[in-house]
Amino acid sequence: MIAKADFIEGMAKGMAVLESFDTERQRLNATLAAQRAGLTRAAARRHLLTLAHLGYLETDGSYFWLSAKVLRFSGSYLASARLPRLLQPTLNRLAAQTQESFSAVVLDGDDVVIVARSVSMGGGTRVLAYGLHLGARLPAHATSTGRLLLSALPKPALSAWLKGRTLPRLTAQTTTDVKKLRTLIEQAATDDYCVASEEHELGVHALAVPLRNMQGKTVAALNVVASPARLQPEVMQRDLLPLLLDAARELRPLL
């Protein structure tokens, strides 16, 4: 917990404005940014103009949008962060071996974030979900990785995460009932893997397993996006799940 004297409120507000831009709202004016960041319109406008002056936003004089300069942060993270560098060779091997798409994901608040991924360019049928790029944020409640990572939280933390939460419906298959979601999260903890079918995006079916370090702490989740046929219980148990579990065991000493 940071001391009050060390907290720079202006920086926090500026970051809140910057984080207001996402795939849902790619262009914001001062009024929209104020609503999303919880600021007054005047304060939001000053932050937008400052960020544009620094090169992190572009503007037409009324609306603002992210510039390429924000990629400096993600580029520096991917170049220096230990976790993506450790996981990438394994993801590449799995993709080449199965002709499927693999990702490593971490939990960040309401969302999961893709920190490493690999897509096989060989033959075979590959299922590609829209927007599954490095740094992509996906709603935790509607993804196999999200439920698995939520299942690793201490019970009080999970209860706090679920309390009063509204679960957006993304497809007709999305679980939007909090009690049902809790049951699915508890089942993921029992199974030590999780399958989610068409809850985040139609046509996308995913299987995830936890990635734990030597202390037993879940630090990320490893998932594969595959066809429904490959995620039929008997096929999954025979083909994909053993591969993911073996990879998780191999990675454990490195994490």
Instruction: Write out the residue range of the structural domain in which residue 28 sits.
Output: 4-71
Residue 129 belongs to some domain of the structure: yes
Residue 134 belongs to some domain of the structure: yes
Q: Are residues 64 and 90 in the same domain?
A: no
Q: Are residues 32 and 105 in the same domain?
A: no
Q: Are residues 57 and 168 in the same domain?
A: no
Residue 51 belongs to some domain of the structure: yes
Residue 173 belongs to some domain of the structure: yes
The CATH number linked to 56 is: 1.10.10.10
- Per residue in 143-174, pLDDT tens? 999 999 999 999 999 999 999 999 999 999 99
User: Which of 21, 43, 71 is the last residue in one of the domains?
Assistant: 71
What's the pLDDT at 22? 81
Q: Are residues 120 and 217 in the same domain?
A: yes
What's the pLDDT at 126? 47
What's the pLDDT at 227? 81
Q: Are residues 179 and 92 in the same domain?
A: yes
> Which of 200, 218, 108, 104 is CA-nearest to residue 161?
108
User: Which of 44, 71, 98 is the last residue in one of the domains?
Assistant: 71
Residue 161 belongs to some domain of the structure: yes
Residues of the chain with pLDDT under 70: 119-132
Residue 240 belongs to some domain of the structure: yes
What's the pLDDT at 2? 83
Q: Are residues 58 and 178 in the same domain?
A: no
User: Which of 26, 46, 71 is the last residue in one of the domains?
Assistant: 71
Residue 76 belongs to some domain of the structure: no
Here the tokens at position 72 are 């400096």
The domain total for the chain is 2
Residue 195 belongs to some domain of the structure: yes
What's the pLDDT at 230? 83
Q: Are residues 66 and 87 in the same domain?
A: no
Q: Are residues 157 and 204 in the same domain?
A: yes
Q: Are residues 49 and 87 in the same domain?
A: no
What's the pLDDT at 120? 60
The CATH number linked to 189 is: 3.30.450.40
Report the share of the chain in percent with pLDDT over 90.
70
Q: Are residues 57 and 131 in the same domain?
A: no
Q: Are residues 169 and 212 in the same domain?
A: yes
Q: Are residues 100 and 52 in the same domain?
A: no
